[in-house]
Every structure is written in structure tokens, then in C-alpha cells.
Amino acid sequence: MIEWLTWAQVVVGLAAGVLCVAFFCAQRAPNDYTLGAIALVELLLVVQAVTAIVAPFVGNSPSGDGLEFALYLITALLLPVLAVVWALSDRTRWSTLILAVVAWAVAIMVFRMDQIWTGSGL
Amino acid sequence: MSGLGRLLVAIYGILALAATVRSLYQILSRFNEAPVAYLLSGLAGAVYIVATIALIRQGPWWRRVAGAAILFELLGVLVVGTLSITLGDLFPHDTVWSVYGRGYGFIPLLLPIAGLVWLWRSDPTRVRSEPIGSEPIRSEPIRSEAAGSSEAEK
């Protein structure tokens, strides 16, 4: 993993969650801003996936468990997709809150992925 | 379904996915280290999936399934949480219920409590047995139940 990319991703995830909570408090159903924020979270996860595949070939191998890392990454990639499907089928402000929950969940998972990659943490 | 009910379903869904994938990894990669704990981890994941589905479905039967699944989780997190502290060898600290779900921000401990409260509050039979003229909180679960069932019919 590239450290600054990981931290940027965590910050974007947390910020996207805050944005979604703000729109939830304003009683808005998912709109371009909140769905856009989740799309950005997903885009960064795709970048992370590409980075993780390329990194070992340029001398940046994980010192932790690669399989566990991959499972985290795949699960994290799924979450925003599921959240957007939910948001499009349930057009209420509660979907906006669920987008926030997913954005935060992804941020936490990326943080964990960094611990797994470097072999530190729990 | 009411808004809080939907939030509950979403969080259950995420936890179901997280717990299931993690236990699959544990069973596939290092089952021998702690077979009991990792099998229980897999069972926990399966029960979270059942709870998520049962919370989405309507009707008294699904309500009972949801209640049983959530109660199982509450017992699981309390028993395994305690055992993981007292019998650390048998229960390593990396299953979903270890140390009362600390690895998951104690959500595994809080979620079953929230789930049981929600099931109780939204119970249509409870509303009917309430005395007339008491607190008006009851009006919301009635409406949400009606809205939920019409959604399911679509």
C-alpha cells in the first residue's frame, strides 16, 4: 500500500460520511452530492485495488497476510455498490444515512487493510 | 419499515458480510489454531445473515426468527466475550464476539440490544394491548408497519 493514498482514502471516507449525515439532517433523499461522494469512495478503492496488484511487482510487497488483505479489499469494494443500489431503490432520507454508515465502514476497513498489509495491529 | 428499522437492517447487513468473510478466511487459512473459535465465528456470520433477512421480511413468523437470531447473538457475544477474557487459549482475540466485539467497535454487543428494542417497539400485537390514551409514541410503529407491508407487496 502507498501510505499517503491510504490516509487520503480514510479522510475522504470520513468526510463523505459527514457530508451524508449533513444531508440526512436536512431531510434529503440521496442526491448527486451524496451519491457522488460515495462514488468517489468507490473510485479510490478501485485505485487501491490496482495499486495493491501492481505494488508487489515494483518492490512494495505486503509484510502481512495478502489473502486477508484481498478479502478486506473485495468486501470494501462491494459495500458502496450495495449502498448505491439501496439508495436508488429506497428514495428516502434514511438511505442518505445508510450512505454515511457505508462511507465510515469503508474508512475503517481501509485503516484495517493498512494494518494487515504492514503486519501491524491486532 | 420505519427509518430506524432500515438503518438497523443496513448495519446488520454490513456486519453479516464482514463476519462471514472474515470467518471464511480464518477457517480456510488457520483453522487448526483455534477450531472452536473459528467455527463459532462462522456460525455467528450465518446467524447475522439470518437476522438481516428476517428483519427485512414482514409477518409474525419472520419476526420470531429475527427475535431468535438476535437473542442468539446477544448470548453469543456475552458468553464468548467472557470466555475470550478468561480462556484466552480457546478463544483468540480475533473473532467477531471476542472481548464483547471490541474488534468491531463493540457493535456486536450494542446491535442485538438495539435489535430487540426495535422488534419490541414495532410489535403490532404489543400496540393493541396498550391502554387507550397512554403515550402517543405508539402511533409511529403502526404507520411504519403498514408502510412496510405495502412495500413488501410491490
- Looking at residue B36, what is its pLDDT? 83
Q: Which of A119 and B51 is assigned the larger pLDDT?
A: B51
Mutate to test the interface with B, among A69, A97, A116 (most CBs of B within 10 A): A97
Tell me if chain B has a CB within 8 Å of the CB of A77: no
C-alpha neighbours within 13 Å on the C-beta side of residue B143 = 7
For residue A60, the distance in angstroms to the closest alpha carbon of chain B comes to 23
Q: What confidence score (pLDDT) does residue A10 get?
A: 97
Q: Does B136 touch chain A (CB under 8 A)?
A: no
Contact B17 A78 (CB under 8 A): yes
Domains of chain A, earliest start first: 3-118 (1.20.120)
Q: Does B7 sit within 8 Å of A94, measured CB to CB? A: yes
HSE-CB for B13 with a 13 A CA cutoff? 18
Neighbours of A42 (CB within 10 A): 21
Q: What are phi and psi of B88, to 5 degrees?
A: -60, -30
Whether A109 has a pLDDT exceeding 60, the answer reads yes
ipTM: 0.86
* A11-39 residue pLDDT tens: 999 999 999 999 999 999 999 999 999 99
What CA–CA distances, in Å, run from B108 to A55, A64, A67, B98, B126? 35, 26, 24, 10, 27
Cα–Cα distances in angstroms (integers) from residue B7 to residues A58, A96, A100, in the given order = 43, 10, 11
Contact A101 B17 (CB under 8 A): no
CA A29 to chain centre: 21
Give the integer Cα–Cα distance in Å for B69 and B65.
6
Chain A residues near residue B6 by CB distance under 8 angstroms = 90, 92, 94-95, 98
Residue B137 has what pLDDT?
52
Phi-psi region of A118 (alpha: psi -120 to 50; beta: other; left: phi over 0): alpha
DSSP 3-state assignment of A27? coil
User: What confidence tens digit (pLDDT) does each residue in B79-108 have?
Assistant: 988 988 888 777 766 778 888 888 888 899
| Cβ(A96)–Cβ(A29) below 8 Å | yes
Out of A56-60, B15-19, B33-37, B82-86, which region has the weakest mean confidence (pLDDT)?
B33-37
**Confidence (pLDDT) at A52:** 93
d(CA A50, CA B37): 34
pLDDT (average), residues B32-46: 87
Which pLDDT does position A21 carry in this prediction?
Answer: 97
- Range with the lowest mean pLDDT among A53-62, A94-103, B60-69? A53-62
Which residue is associated with the grid cell 462511507? A103
Q: Min CA distance, A116 vs chain B (Å)?
A: 13
User: Is residue B144 scored above 60 in pLDDT?
Assistant: no
C-alpha cell at A12: 475522504
The predicted model gives B29-34 an average pLDDT of 84
- pLDDT tens for residues A61-100? 888 888 999 999 999 999 999 999 999 998 999 999 999 9
Closest by Cβ to B6, choosing from A67, A71, A94: A94
Residue-level pLDDT at B127: 58
Out of B6, B7, B103, the one facing A122 most closely (by C-beta) is B103
- List the one residue out of B82, B133, B132, B119 whose CA is nearest residue B1: B119
A101 and B7 within 8 Å at the Cβ level: the answer is yes
Residues 39-68 of A with CB under 8 A from B: 65, 67-68
> Can you tell me whether residue A62 is helix, strand or coil?
coil
Q: How far is A17 from chain B (nearest CA, A)?
A: 14
